[in-house]
Amino acid sequence: MKQVWTLSAVLLFAAVLTYLIASGDLTFGQPALADMDNYFIENAREETGANNIVTSVVFDYRGFDTLGEATVLFAAVLGVGSLFRKLTPEEEEAE
């Protein structure tokens, strides 16, 4: 029974993804909506003074996402550190 469910889920995924490719909406090489990126390519050099546009997008135009990402990395270290701590003797008895 479980094999029927997994096989049908995988076939459903494959059918939907193949329909998306064959329908012709996804183009490779001509992106459809590029107005914001054209503004970044034209004006990022005067407004931020950096030659690298990707860095200026990551740290200046979308700096708040980078702050969130640094916090996620910090939280991952907290999670790994709390899983491997030394248990006190009462907690060792309760295992």
Which of 61, 11, 16 lies closest to 37 in space, CA to CA?
61
**What is the DSSP secondary structure assignment for residue 81, as one 8-state letter?**
H
**Residue located via tokens 């295992």:** 95
Sites of contact with another protein (CB under 8 A): 6, 9-10, 13-14, 17-18, 21, 24, 26-31, 34, 36-37, 40-41, 45, 47-60, 62-67, 69-77, 79-81, 83-84
CB of 77 to another protein, least distance (A): 5
Nearer to another protein, 87 or 90 (CB): 87
CB of 1 to another protein, least distance (A): 14
**What is the DSSP secondary structure assignment for residue 23, as one 8-state letter?**
T
CB of 93 to another protein, least distance (A): 15
Nearer to another protein, 66 or 91 (CB): 66
Distance of CA 27 to CAs 13, 22, 23, 95, Å? 21, 11, 10, 57
Nearer to another protein, 51 or 90 (CB): 51
CA distance from start to end of the chain? 36
